[in-house]
Structure 1
Amino acid sequence: MYIFFVNMLFHAHKRVEALKEKVSKDRLQDVATAHRRRLENEELEARLNSLREEETKKQDSEVDIAVIKEPVDAPSSSFTSSPPKEDTVVSQSTKPVTSKKKRK
């Protein structure tokens, strides 16, 4: 009977204890992984928000520059300029065409 308890139940008890330890370690790793992912997500959201703010500031500054430039461009656009003159190309032939026939 002693052999039965030592050989069968003791090994099963060791196995159960090892599984309990493994499960607890896995749970701790899952918690640590979830915490790390949450921190990474918060960092990424902070970066994204800062990039969005920079983009909106850039767009606002471009709008301000365009508003400032419009009055400067407006008087110059009110003048009507004459269309550009087209140059006529005169073709010159290098050899004159002659219709002389040779006499025999």
Structure 2
Amino acid sequence: MAKEQLVRIGSVDDFPMLLGKEVRIGDYDIAVFRTSDGGWYALDNHTPHKKGGPLTEAIVSGHTIYCPLRDLHIRLVDGRVMGPDTGEVRTFRVIVDGDAVGIELPPEA
């Protein structure tokens, strides 16, 4: 069974708290968020809305983001859209080791 690959995306200081930052790795366009309580989250940088939109424009509130373009509330931990809307965004595991920040990508990446 293939393992995820860890890709370094920068240092802790490269990611301001409460703001989304776009990271491109090959074909992946990822939005990385750092919450005020020290949480790190990474999601596909596209809303699940049929018209799309970048999640890096989202507003962080606790462990959710609010997409002002599409009026969606999305949970950072699992990428699920909160009711009454539906949908889901792919998530990626973020690894912080000292000052280094990395994202685990699927083996096929």
What TM-score comes out, normalization by structure 1 length? 0.11
Highest relative contact order (Cα 8 Å, sep 6+), 1 or 2? 2
| More helix by percentage | 1
As a proportion of its length, which structure holds more strand? 2
